Amino acid sequence: MTSWSAFDIARDEAEIATLHARSAEPGFWDDPAAAQETMQRLAELEEHVHRWRAVDAKINELQELLELAEAEQDDGLNEEIRAEMEALASTLAEMRMELLLSGPHDARDAILSIYAGAGGTEAQDWAEMLLRMYLRWAERHKFEAEIIDQMEGEEAGLKSVTVEIHGRNAYGLLRSERGVHRLVRISPFDNARRRHTSFALVEVIPDIGEEIEVEINPDDLRIDVFHASGHGGQNVQKNATAVRITHLPTGIVVSCQNERSLVQNKERAMAVLRARLYDLELQRQEEERAKLRGEHITAGWGNQIRSYVLHPYRMVKDLRTDYETGNTTAVLDGELDEFIEAYLRWSVGPKR
């Protein structure tokens, strides 16, 4: 049997046995919150062990089939084995990526926002290109993506957009995208065909749902109601159902206009606001820890993470990990996994 000692499956199985015993104790559900946390941990461990045991069994099965094919010189069986091995390699690649997702919120859904930088139509078109890139990435992973708010550009593109991305590890994977993305290209909006540089800010926060409590004083909120708008700014509903909530102490503004009722849009906007306030507190704590370690953290627009060059050469380069590729078309079509994995490895390793 193949050894998985590097992942210590035996240790996980021992913890599963302990948690099962605990869940059977009298009074286990007296503290519902603690009990729910225990059961969630148990489910995660069981799924993790099941997947690795299934891979182990598949490897053993393929080893036996390979020996049989060699003994009988069966080319048809060899083809079948090759197909099975390719599928297994793909599964292992996904599981290898998951091993790098160790953050407390990595398994959660993600709330991704894109903001066009200075530069008018150029930057707004770049924001829309990034939106397409992330929607294609989500589609490749069979994640559900839903635009909950967007502000159209005057001539083309988007001033801003917020998308909820639902799927296991959506936040853990997409947190690599947080920061400023820079595009260099010949402008399609410039009659002189000059080269332009555009910037867009990508924010990614975990969707904390109702599980984490964030206290918000109603007196700290300004709530505006307006008509939801479609492409070009035209109103798409007769009644004012879109909601914009401003958190006065922090200046955070959240909008939602995709639901058909005012109540639903308000609930959705409040959920995003809670997530942003929670993320803001996490950032503050991390900055404090960084100061104690003597490190400097640059946030917001000063934090350029990736450069996309379409002219005079073609290159996408991550400025944190130095991972790069000349296949800009594939990247802008949603092939981001190599960049994501490079970031996850970089984030858990020693920094330069």
In DSSP notation, 53-96 reads HHHHHHHHHHHHHHHHHHHHT-HHHHHHHHHHHHHHHHHHHHHH
| Beta strands 179-186; 304-309: pairing state | parallel
- In angstroms, the CA 255 to CA 329 distance is 32
HSE, side-chain direction, 13 A CA sphere, residue 61: 13
Please give the radius of gyration of the chain, using alpha carbons only, rounded to the nearest integer. Answer: 24
The residue type found at 160 is: S
- What is the location of CATH 1.20.58.410 in the chain? 5-99
Query: Which one is predicted more confidently, 315 or 215?
Result: 315
> 4 pLDDT band (50/70/90 cuts)?
very low
Q: Does domain 5-99 have CATH number 3.90.1150.10?
A: no
Beta strand segments in the chain, E: 110-116, 144-152, 158-166, 179-186, 195-206, 221-226, 242-247, 252-256, 304-309, 315-318, 324-325
pLDDT-above-90 percentage for the chain: 53
Q: What is the structure's pLDDT at 3?
A: 39
Given this model, what pLDDT does residue 27 score? 92
Architecture of domain 110-348: 2-Layer Sandwich (3.30)
**In a 3-state reduction of DSSP, which class is residue 255?**
strand
Q: Exposed, middle or buried, 295 (CB in 10 Å: 0-12/13-18/19+)?
A: exposed
Enumerate the CATH 3.30.70.1660 domain ranges in the chain, comma separated.
110-348
54-106: pLDDT as tens digits: 888 888 888 888 888 778 776 667 778 888 888 888 788 777 777 788 788 89
Q: Which residues pair with 225 in a beta bridge?
A: 243
- Place 6 in a pLDDT band, splitting at 50, 70 and 90: very low
pLDDT band at 203; cut points 50, 70, 90: very high
pLDDT of residue 98: 75
Q: How far apart, in whole angstroms, are the C-alpha atoms of residue 290 and residue 323?
A: 25
User: Can you say whether the dihedral through the CA atoms of 148, 151, 152, 153 is positive or negative?
Assistant: negative
Are the C-beta atoms of residues 242 and 223 closer than 8 Å to each other? no
pLDDT of res. 197: 93
pTM for this entry: 0.75
